[in-house]
Amino acid sequence: MTRYISLYWLFLTQRIKALMEYRANFIIGAASTIFLQASSIIAIWVVMQKVPSLNGWTYDEILLVYGLITLAKSINHMFADNLWTLGRVYIRSGAFDRFLVRPINPLFHLLADRFCQDGVGNFLVGVALIVKASIDLHIAWTPPKALMLLVAVLSGGLIFIALNLLTCVASFWIVDSVPVTRLVFDNHLFAQYPLSIYPKAIGILLTWIVPYGLASFYPASYLLDRDLGWVAWLAPVAAALLMFIAYRFWEFGLEHYNSAGT
């Protein structure tokens, strides 16, 4: 474990050095996600001016839900965004083969090969939203609630990574897995809002099948002392289970990998 932490730090520092060669590109990449998120938040604000409450959820409470999942997504965006490029960039070109002849885990190498600066913008937006919402909602940050915030963000990040890994493995058979990954990933857009505003089927989907709700709605419910908040403590279990399944599927795909021969 210590070896891999040291290796990742080396990969990360080299990536940062490369990004800093083009500082404007780094800043634009990070800022682009901030502006993208800002447009979504403005849209919510406009709607909430006409509809002050969505099934009992106020504007600031929705911002809390939105901020939580944005923070979780930022973990995936910064440290595991390379999963999206597995087929298009690595397998199609044959570049993936170099991961198989080096004395480190191929999945670790794939993840460490690229730090995505765009995720920094998501992280900053998530922090800002949670700070604003907690101030306006007068959330009392007791130790259990502070722990819940940490658990929700880290577990949510792992849930994002696990689901992306699970779907990107399709690249070993169809090369371009982006449509498959996006089919699952885009479900997180529902979890930017309280699950209670949707039909029951969507709530079940986003809790027990594609559990993005464990990174947003349920932690927010816990922080706001609402019903069902206890479900948020299941997030680490769901994250661990999904990571186990995704990694085993990755190993299965790796066994069936055929080089592009280029």
Residue-wise pLDDT for 208-247, tens only, equals 999 999 999 999 999 999 989 999 999 999 999 999 999 9
| Tokens read off for 178 | 């982006």
| Model confidence pLDDT, tens digit, residues 115-133 | 988 888 899 999 999 999 9
- Domain contains 35: yes
- Domain contains 123: yes
- Domain contains 238: yes
**Angle between helices 143-168 and 235-255 in degrees, nearest 10:** 20
Q: In angstroms, rounded to a whole number, what is the distance separating the alpha carbons of residues 158 and 178? A: 19
How many Å is the maximal CA-CA distance in the chain? 60
Q: How far, in Å, are 103, 163, 215, 232, 241 from residue 245 at the CA level?
A: 24, 10, 19, 21, 6
Residue 153 CB neighbour total at 10 angstroms: 26
Residue 196: pLDDT above 90?
A: yes
Q: pTM of the predicted model, to two decimals?
A: 0.93
Which pLDDT score is estimated for 158?
98
| Model confidence pLDDT, tens digit, residues 203-218 | 999 999 999 999 999 9
Q: In angstroms, rounded to a whole number, what is the distance separating the alpha carbons of residues 260 and 98? A: 12
CA dihedral 201, 215, 220, 200 (to 10 degrees): 0
Which pLDDT score is estimated for 149?
97
Residue 243 CB neighbour total at 10 angstroms: 17
Average pLDDT over residues 99-106: 91
- Domain contains 260: no
**How many folded domains does the chain comprise?**
1
- Domain contains 130: yes
Q: In angstroms, rounded to a whole number, what is the distance separating the alpha carbons of residues 161 and 98? A: 23
* More confident: 32 or 110: 110
- Domain contains 176: yes
Give the residue numbers spanning the domain of 158.
2-255
- Domain contains 76: yes
| Model confidence pLDDT, tens digit, residues 7-24 | 889 888 888 887 777 767
Helices (H) and strands (E) in the chain, counts: 12, 0
- Domain contains 261: no
Q: Mean pLDDT lowest for which of 30-34, 66-70, 84-88?
A: 30-34
